[in-house]
Protein backbone atom coordinates (compact mmCIF):
# COMPACT_ATOMS: atom_id res chain seq x y z
CA UNK A 1 0.00 0.00 0.00
CA UNK A 2 3.06 2.23 -0.29
CA UNK A 3 1.54 3.81 -3.42
CA UNK A 4 -1.41 5.12 -1.45
CA UNK A 5 0.89 6.41 1.27
CA UNK A 6 3.02 8.24 -1.33
CA UNK A 7 -0.05 9.64 -3.07
CA UNK A 8 -1.37 10.97 0.25
CA UNK A 9 2.01 12.18 1.61
CA UNK A 10 1.27 15.91 1.21
CA UNK A 11 -2.15 15.79 2.88
CA UNK A 12 -3.11 16.61 6.48
CA UNK A 13 -3.60 13.37 8.54
CA UNK A 14 -7.26 14.11 9.29
CA UNK A 15 -8.03 14.69 5.59
CA UNK A 16 -6.06 11.56 4.78
CA UNK A 17 -8.23 9.44 7.11
CA UNK A 18 -11.36 10.98 5.55
CA UNK A 19 -10.16 10.11 2.02
CA UNK A 20 -9.39 6.49 2.99
CA UNK A 21 -12.73 6.10 4.79
CA UNK A 22 -14.57 7.47 1.76
CA UNK A 23 -12.72 5.05 -0.56
CA UNK A 24 -13.60 1.94 1.46
CA UNK A 25 -17.16 1.32 0.22
CA UNK A 26 -15.98 1.73 -3.39
CA UNK A 27 -13.06 -0.65 -2.85
CA UNK A 28 -15.50 -3.18 -1.38
CA UNK A 29 -18.07 -2.72 -4.15
CA UNK A 30 -15.62 -3.05 -7.05
CA UNK A 31 -13.39 -5.78 -5.57
CA UNK A 32 -12.78 -8.48 -8.19
CA UNK A 33 -14.48 -6.42 -10.91
CA UNK A 34 -12.94 -5.54 -14.30
CA UNK A 35 -12.33 -1.90 -15.25
CA UNK A 36 -11.38 -1.08 -18.86
CA UNK A 37 -9.48 2.21 -19.08
CA UNK A 38 -8.87 4.09 -22.35
CA UNK A 39 -5.66 6.05 -21.86
CA UNK A 40 -5.00 9.03 -24.12
CA UNK A 41 -4.71 12.80 -24.40
CA UNK A 42 -2.60 14.93 -22.04
CA UNK A 43 -2.55 12.21 -19.38
CA UNK A 44 -0.41 10.28 -21.84
CA UNK A 45 2.04 13.01 -22.83
CA UNK A 46 2.62 15.02 -19.62
CA UNK A 47 5.31 13.26 -17.46
CA UNK A 48 3.68 14.16 -14.10
CA UNK A 49 0.27 12.95 -15.29
CA UNK A 50 1.84 9.77 -16.72
CA UNK A 51 3.25 8.94 -13.28
CA UNK A 52 -0.11 9.69 -11.61
CA UNK A 53 -1.92 7.41 -14.07
CA UNK A 54 0.52 4.53 -13.50
CA UNK A 55 0.16 4.87 -9.70
CA UNK A 56 -3.64 4.92 -10.00
CA UNK A 57 -3.72 1.74 -12.11
CA UNK A 58 -1.37 -0.08 -9.72
CA UNK A 59 -3.41 1.01 -6.69
CA UNK A 60 -6.67 -0.23 -8.26
CA UNK A 61 -4.99 -3.59 -8.87
CA UNK A 62 -3.60 -3.71 -5.31
CA UNK A 63 -7.05 -3.18 -3.76
CA UNK A 64 -8.46 -6.09 -5.74
CA UNK A 65 -9.84 -4.61 -8.96
CA UNK A 66 -8.83 -5.78 -12.44
CA UNK A 67 -7.75 -2.83 -14.61
CA UNK A 68 -7.21 -3.34 -18.36
CA UNK A 69 -5.57 -0.44 -20.21
CA UNK A 70 -6.26 0.33 -23.88
CA UNK A 71 -4.16 3.17 -25.28
CA UNK A 72 -4.17 5.48 -28.28
CA UNK A 73 -1.20 7.36 -29.72
CA UNK A 74 -2.29 9.89 -32.35
CA UNK A 75 0.28 12.60 -31.51
CA UNK A 76 3.13 10.07 -31.32
CA UNK A 77 2.15 8.60 -34.73
CA UNK A 78 2.03 12.13 -36.18
CA UNK A 79 5.55 12.88 -34.85
CA UNK A 80 6.94 9.64 -36.30
CA UNK A 81 5.33 10.27 -39.72
CA UNK A 82 6.76 13.82 -39.77
CA UNK A 83 10.23 12.42 -39.07
CA UNK A 84 9.83 10.28 -42.20
CA UNK A 85 8.59 13.28 -44.19
CA UNK A 86 5.05 11.87 -44.45
CA UNK A 87 2.05 14.15 -44.02
CA UNK A 88 -0.89 12.75 -42.04
CA UNK A 89 -4.11 12.76 -44.06
CA UNK A 90 -7.56 12.55 -42.48
CA UNK A 91 -11.03 11.86 -43.88
CA UNK A 92 -13.92 12.64 -41.52
CA UNK A 93 -11.58 12.49 -38.54
CA UNK A 94 -10.10 9.09 -39.52
CA UNK A 95 -6.41 8.73 -40.38
CA UNK A 96 -5.87 7.45 -43.94
CA UNK A 97 -3.58 4.46 -43.37
CA UNK A 98 -1.65 3.21 -46.42
CA UNK A 99 0.79 0.27 -46.05
CA UNK A 100 3.73 2.51 -45.10
CA UNK A 101 1.67 4.45 -42.55
CA UNK A 102 0.42 1.14 -41.09
CA UNK A 103 4.04 0.06 -40.49
CA UNK A 104 4.66 3.31 -38.61
CA UNK A 105 1.41 2.90 -36.63
CA UNK A 106 2.48 -0.61 -35.57
CA UNK A 107 5.96 0.30 -34.41
CA UNK A 108 4.79 3.44 -32.62
CA UNK A 109 1.76 1.88 -30.87
CA UNK A 110 3.00 -1.66 -30.21
CA UNK A 111 6.60 -0.53 -29.71
CA UNK A 112 7.33 2.90 -28.31
CA UNK A 113 3.99 3.91 -26.76
CA UNK A 114 3.01 0.53 -25.33
CA UNK A 115 6.43 -0.10 -23.82
CA UNK A 116 6.44 3.36 -22.21
CA UNK A 117 3.13 2.57 -20.49
CA UNK A 118 4.27 -0.93 -19.45
CA UNK A 119 7.47 0.60 -18.03
CA UNK A 120 5.60 3.29 -16.08
CA UNK A 121 3.21 0.77 -14.50
CA UNK A 122 6.05 -1.60 -13.63
CA UNK A 123 8.03 1.30 -12.12
CA UNK A 124 5.00 2.16 -9.96
CA UNK A 125 5.01 -1.38 -8.56
CA UNK A 126 2.63 -3.19 -10.92
CA UNK A 127 3.17 -6.07 -13.35
CA UNK A 128 2.08 -4.83 -16.78
CA UNK A 129 2.13 -6.90 -19.99
CA UNK A 130 1.81 -5.37 -23.48
CA UNK A 131 -0.54 -6.93 -26.04
CA UNK A 132 -1.80 -6.10 -29.51
CA UNK A 133 -4.96 -7.48 -31.09
CA UNK A 134 -2.79 -10.17 -32.70
CA UNK A 135 -1.80 -11.70 -29.36
CA UNK A 136 -3.96 -14.70 -28.54
CA UNK A 137 -5.99 -13.93 -31.69
CA UNK A 138 -7.71 -11.20 -29.68
CA UNK A 139 -9.02 -8.66 -32.23
CA UNK A 140 -10.24 -9.87 -35.62
CA UNK A 141 -10.91 -6.97 -37.96
CA UNK A 142 -11.95 -6.09 -41.48
CA UNK A 143 -11.48 -3.01 -43.61
CA UNK A 144 -13.62 -0.12 -42.42
CA UNK A 145 -16.17 1.00 -45.00
CA UNK A 146 -16.36 4.75 -44.65
CA UNK A 147 -19.36 6.35 -46.29
CA UNK A 148 -19.38 10.08 -46.96
CA UNK A 149 -21.17 12.01 -44.20
CA UNK A 150 -23.07 14.14 -46.69
CA UNK A 151 -23.54 11.68 -49.55
CA UNK A 152 -23.73 8.02 -48.40
CA UNK A 153 -23.45 6.81 -52.02
CA UNK A 154 -19.76 7.88 -51.93
CA UNK A 155 -17.33 5.55 -50.12
CA UNK A 156 -13.91 6.83 -48.99
CA UNK A 157 -10.92 4.47 -49.05
CA UNK A 158 -9.05 5.08 -45.79
CA UNK A 159 -6.64 2.15 -46.28
CA UNK A 160 -5.82 -0.20 -43.40
CA UNK A 161 -8.30 1.27 -40.93
CA UNK A 162 -10.20 -1.52 -39.26
CA UNK A 163 -13.67 -2.34 -38.10
CA UNK A 164 -13.86 -4.96 -35.33
CA UNK A 165 -15.33 -8.31 -36.41
CA UNK A 166 -14.89 -10.07 -33.07
CA UNK A 167 -12.88 -9.98 -29.84
CA UNK A 168 -11.61 -13.08 -28.05
CA UNK A 169 -10.65 -11.87 -24.56
CA UNK A 170 -9.15 -15.15 -23.28
CA UNK A 171 -5.54 -13.86 -23.28
CA UNK A 172 -6.62 -10.79 -21.25
CA UNK A 173 -8.53 -12.96 -18.77
CA UNK A 174 -5.56 -15.31 -18.36
CA UNK A 175 -3.26 -12.38 -17.54
CA UNK A 176 -5.78 -10.81 -15.14
CA UNK A 177 -6.17 -14.06 -13.25
CA UNK A 178 -2.40 -14.14 -12.84
CA UNK A 179 -2.05 -10.67 -11.22
CA UNK A 180 -0.87 -8.96 -14.41
CA UNK A 181 -2.18 -5.68 -15.84
CA UNK A 182 -2.85 -6.01 -19.59
CA UNK A 183 -1.93 -3.00 -21.78
CA UNK A 184 -3.59 -3.28 -25.20
CA UNK A 185 -2.57 -1.54 -28.45
CA UNK A 186 -5.57 -1.02 -30.80
CA UNK A 187 -4.26 -3.07 -33.72
CA UNK A 188 -6.33 -5.88 -35.23
CA UNK A 189 -5.67 -8.53 -37.88
CA UNK A 190 -7.66 -9.54 -40.96
CA UNK A 191 -8.41 -12.90 -42.58
CA UNK A 192 -5.25 -12.66 -44.73
CA UNK A 193 -3.09 -11.76 -41.71
CA UNK A 194 -3.05 -8.07 -42.68
CA UNK A 195 -2.88 -5.45 -39.88
CA UNK A 196 -5.54 -2.87 -39.16
CA UNK A 197 -5.38 0.40 -37.23
CA UNK A 198 -8.53 0.65 -35.07
CA UNK A 199 -9.89 3.60 -33.09
CA UNK A 200 -8.77 3.07 -29.47
CA UNK A 201 -12.10 4.30 -28.04
CA UNK A 202 -13.89 1.65 -30.10
CA UNK A 203 -11.49 -1.10 -28.95
CA UNK A 204 -11.91 -0.06 -25.30
CA UNK A 205 -15.72 0.00 -25.59
CA UNK A 206 -15.97 -3.40 -27.32
CA UNK A 207 -13.43 -4.98 -24.96
CA UNK A 208 -15.41 -3.71 -21.95
CA UNK A 209 -18.57 -5.34 -23.37
CA UNK A 210 -16.87 -8.68 -24.11
CA UNK A 211 -15.16 -8.79 -20.69
CA UNK A 212 -18.43 -7.92 -18.92
CA UNK A 213 -16.61 -5.00 -17.28
CA UNK A 214 -18.09 -3.16 -14.32
CA UNK A 215 -16.81 0.14 -15.68
CA UNK A 216 -15.37 1.68 -18.84
CA UNK A 217 -13.29 4.82 -18.16
CA UNK A 218 -12.29 7.12 -21.05
CA UNK A 219 -9.57 9.66 -20.25
CA UNK A 220 -9.96 12.76 -22.45
CA UNK A 221 -8.77 16.34 -22.80
CA UNK A 222 -12.16 17.75 -21.87
CA UNK A 223 -13.95 17.96 -18.50
CA UNK A 224 -16.55 15.45 -19.79
CA UNK A 225 -19.85 15.92 -21.64
CA UNK A 226 -20.94 19.57 -21.61
CA UNK A 227 -24.40 21.00 -22.24
CA UNK A 228 -24.99 23.84 -24.69
CA UNK A 229 -24.17 26.39 -21.97
CA UNK A 230 -20.77 24.72 -21.49
CA UNK A 231 -21.65 23.22 -18.09
CA UNK A 232 -20.50 19.72 -17.13
CA UNK A 233 -23.19 17.02 -17.14
CA UNK A 234 -22.00 14.66 -14.39
CA UNK A 235 -24.66 11.95 -14.43
CA UNK A 236 -26.54 10.81 -17.52
CA UNK A 237 -28.62 7.80 -18.49
CA UNK A 238 -28.27 6.13 -21.89
CA UNK A 239 -31.66 7.63 -22.83
CA UNK A 240 -30.52 11.16 -21.97
CA UNK A 241 -27.40 10.69 -24.14
CA UNK A 242 -29.62 9.71 -27.11
CA UNK A 243 -31.45 13.04 -26.67
CA UNK A 244 -28.14 14.99 -26.62
CA UNK A 245 -27.15 13.33 -29.92
CA UNK A 246 -30.52 14.18 -31.46
CA UNK A 247 -30.38 17.90 -30.62
CA UNK A 248 -26.72 18.32 -31.65
CA UNK A 249 -25.34 18.99 -28.13
CA UNK A 250 -22.84 16.16 -28.71
CA UNK A 251 -20.89 16.60 -31.93
CA UNK A 252 -17.38 16.67 -33.43
CA UNK A 253 -14.59 14.74 -31.72
CA UNK A 254 -16.90 13.64 -28.90
CA UNK A 255 -19.09 11.62 -31.29
CA UNK A 256 -16.93 8.47 -31.66
CA UNK A 257 -16.13 8.51 -27.94
CA UNK A 258 -19.75 8.79 -26.86
CA UNK A 259 -21.02 6.32 -29.50
CA UNK A 260 -18.76 3.59 -28.12
CA UNK A 261 -19.55 4.60 -24.54
CA UNK A 262 -23.27 4.47 -25.23
CA UNK A 263 -23.02 1.04 -26.86
CA UNK A 264 -21.09 -0.22 -23.80
CA UNK A 265 -23.68 1.22 -21.39
CA UNK A 266 -26.50 -0.41 -23.39
CA UNK A 267 -24.64 -3.74 -23.56
CA UNK A 268 -24.20 -4.49 -19.88
CA UNK A 269 -21.25 -2.32 -18.76
CA UNK A 270 -22.74 -0.82 -15.58
CA UNK A 271 -21.19 2.63 -15.84
CA UNK A 272 -19.09 4.52 -18.37
CA UNK A 273 -17.00 7.45 -17.16
CA UNK A 274 -15.69 10.17 -19.49
CA UNK A 275 -13.15 12.03 -17.37
CA UNK A 276 -10.63 14.85 -17.64
CA UNK A 277 -7.18 13.26 -17.88
CA UNK A 278 -5.60 16.68 -17.21
CA UNK A 279 -6.63 16.44 -13.54
CA UNK A 280 -3.92 14.74 -11.41
CA UNK A 281 -5.08 11.28 -10.24
CA UNK A 282 -8.40 11.76 -12.09
CA UNK A 283 -8.81 7.99 -12.44
CA UNK A 284 -8.53 7.29 -8.73
CA UNK A 285 -10.72 10.25 -7.77
CA UNK A 286 -13.48 9.19 -10.16
CA UNK A 287 -13.58 5.56 -9.00
CA UNK A 288 -12.86 5.83 -5.27
CA UNK A 289 -14.60 9.07 -4.19
CA UNK A 290 -18.07 10.65 -4.25
CA UNK A 291 -16.74 13.64 -6.19
CA UNK A 292 -17.49 13.57 -9.95
CA UNK A 293 -14.49 14.42 -12.12
CA UNK A 294 -16.28 13.90 -15.40
CA UNK A 295 -19.47 12.47 -16.87
CA UNK A 296 -20.87 9.12 -15.77
CA UNK A 297 -23.22 7.35 -18.18
CA UNK A 298 -25.40 4.83 -16.40
CA UNK A 299 -26.67 1.73 -18.19
CA UNK A 300 -30.27 2.56 -17.27
133 labelled as ligand-binding?
no
Query: What are 221-263's pLDDT values in tens digits?
Result: 888 888 887 888 888 887 888 888 878 777 766 777 788 888 8
- Reference 26, options 273, 201, 211; nearest CA is 273
The pLDDT value recorded for residue 178 is 86
Query: What are 15-51's pLDDT values in tens digits?
Result: 767 777 888 999 999 999 999 999 987 788 889 999 9
Share of the chain above pLDDT 70, in %: 94
Tell me if 16 is assigned to some domain: no
Phi, psi of 274 (to 5 degrees): -110, 110
The domain tally of the chain equals: 1
In order along its 300 residues, the chain shows pLDDT tens digits of: 555 555 556 667 777 677 778 889 999 999 999 999 999 877 888 899 999 999 999 999 999 999 999 999 988 999 999 999 988 788 877 789 999 999 999 999 999 999 999 999 999 999 999 999 999 999 999 999 888 878 889 899 999 999 999 999 999 999 988 899 999 999 999 999 999 999 999 999 999 999 999 999 999 888 888 888 788 888 888 788 888 887 877 776 677 778 888 889 889 899 899 998 898 898 998 898 877 778 888 876
Tell me if 101 is assigned to some domain: yes
Tell me if 22 is assigned to some domain: no
Alpha-carbon dihedral sign for residues 36, 40, 41, 45: positive
Q: How many CB atoms lie within 10 A of CB 29?
A: 10
- Residue 209 belongs to what domain range? 2-8+27-298
199 labelled as ligand-binding?
no
95 labelled as ligand-binding?
yes
Q: What is the dihedral of CA 185, 218, 252, 44, to 10 degrees?
A: -60
111 labelled as ligand-binding?
no
Q: Specify the CATH number for the domain of residue 56.
A: 3.40.1160.10
Give per-residue burial for 246-262: e unless 16+ CB within 10 Å, then b: eeeebeeebebbbbbbb
Tell me if 268 is assigned to some domain: yes
Q: pTM for this one?
A: 0.91
Tell me if 14 is assigned to some domain: no
Tell me if 239 is assigned to some domain: yes
- Reference 27, options 298, 228, 287; nearest CA is 287
Tell me if 50 is assigned to some domain: yes
Tell me if 21 is assigned to some domain: no
The pLDDT value recorded for residue 160 is 96
Amino acid sequence: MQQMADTLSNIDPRDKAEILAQALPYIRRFHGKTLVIKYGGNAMTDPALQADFAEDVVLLKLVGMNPVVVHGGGPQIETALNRLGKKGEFVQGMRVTDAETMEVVEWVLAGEVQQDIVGLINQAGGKAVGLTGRDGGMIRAQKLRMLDAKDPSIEHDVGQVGDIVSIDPSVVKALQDDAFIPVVSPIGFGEHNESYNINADVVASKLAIVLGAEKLVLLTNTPGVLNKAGELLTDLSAREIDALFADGTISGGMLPKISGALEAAKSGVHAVHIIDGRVPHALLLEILTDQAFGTMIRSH
